Copies of this chain bind each other. A is one copy, B any other.
Amino acid sequence: MDAAPVTATLLLSCPDQKGLVAAVSNFVFENDGNIIHADQHTDLEEHYFLQRVEWELDGFAVARDDLRDAFRPIADRFSMDWSVRFSDEIQRIAIFVSQQAHCLYDVLARWKMGELRADIPLVVSNHPDLAEVAGDFGIAFHHLPVTAETKSQQEAATIGLLEKHRVDLIVLARYMQILTADFVRRYPNRIINIHHSFLPAFAGARPYYQAHERGVKVIGATAHYVTADLDAGPIIEQDVVRVSHSDAVPDLVGKGRDLEKVVLARAVRLHLDSRVLVYGNKTVVFD
């Protein structure tokens, strides 16, 4: 693929007010910007407005470094939550895993093929099993075992690594440990987990076993941002697959793996492309 032109992406949300769309589009237009994507959503019950606008930097009248200052007066006028991202800023991902390899293989293969535009400086695991997989892709692997007693030290060591590597996004690729509220608070809407059920069904442990016990005819997977409440954070993406009585638990596990990989990858890509806005405990996904 060609080098795509560098773009700026503005994400914003605020109470709904007349003139919002006009103000933002005038800002881009008057500075000679060429909008290539614009999406917006108004929550008519909450009277809340959310928008994503992406335009080409080439030819834009405001210099890249001045862009945030130039937009700030508009943001302040409408009391916006907002951020600006440039498409050539490469985000840095840490992948957390335990013993299951399928999501790790999938993320790393996508990264190696250029499908995920990001740097992956490290893989962190509470088990040693997947060191070789990380190694085959040339990624540093950090084995940080954890017990109930060592949890706080292990998290402190992990945070040290994340800060050293200036990590922007943590991907829990079937990491079978619960992060503490303290840890989670450091990375708000920047930790993506894949849970192997269609939440809120079958939260917690052994969802495929639970699904088999209940006799469901579809199983699912859910990618969500991690919050202090287990499996209850804002959902980014979900998908399902049909199953039948002939699927024993290992069959559900096998079918589920294919879902988990795809759902996690979609969520990571949506996040990297700045297509996900969180409000309340929900997401708006501009795909």
Q: Which positions in A face B, CB cutoff 8 Å?
A: 1, 18-19, 21-22, 25-26, 28-30, 32-42, 44-45, 101-102, 105-106, 109, 112-113, 115, 136-137, 198-202, 214-218, 220, 234-240, 242, 244-246, 248, 250, 254, 257-258, 262, 265, 280-285, 287
Contacts and interface: CB of A to CB of B under 8 A. Distances in A.
B248 A44 contact: yes
Given A25-B22, A25-B25, A37-B42, A215 B109 contact: no
B113 A109 contact: no
Contact of A284 (B29, B236, B237, B245): B245
Given A1-B250, A113-B101, A265-B258, A237 B220 contact: no
In the complex, the count of this chain's copies comes to 4
| Pairs of residues from A and B, 9 with the lowest C-beta to C-beta distance, nearest first | A215-B282, A201-B201, A105-B109, A22-B29, A22-B25, A21-B25, A217-B238, A245-B284, A19-B29
24 contacts: A18-B32, A21-B25, A22-B25, A26-B26, A35-B42, A44-B248, A45-B248, A101-B109, A105-B109, A136-B137, A199-B201, A199-B216, A201-B201, A214-B282, A215-B280, A216-B238, A217-B235, A218-B220, A240-B240, A244-B285, A245-B282, A258-B262, A258-B265, A262-B262
Contacts of A28: 21-22
A46 to B, nearest CB: 10
B239 A214 contact: no
A179 B108 CA distance: 32
A102 B112 CA distance: 10
B218 A200 contact: no
A34 B281 CA distance: 26
A109 to B, nearest CB: 4
A281 B210 CA distance: 13
Contacts of A113: 101-102, 105
Contacts of A265: 258
A36 B41 contact: no
A215 B283 contact: yes
Given A198-B218, A200-B216, 9 more contacts: A18-B33, A22-B26, A38-B40, A200-B202, A214-B282, A216-B238, A217-B238, A218-B220, A220-B240
Given A37-B42, A106-B109, A245 B198 contact: no
- Report which residue of A35, A106, A284, A285 has the largest number of chain B beta carbons within 10 angstroms of its beta carbon: A35
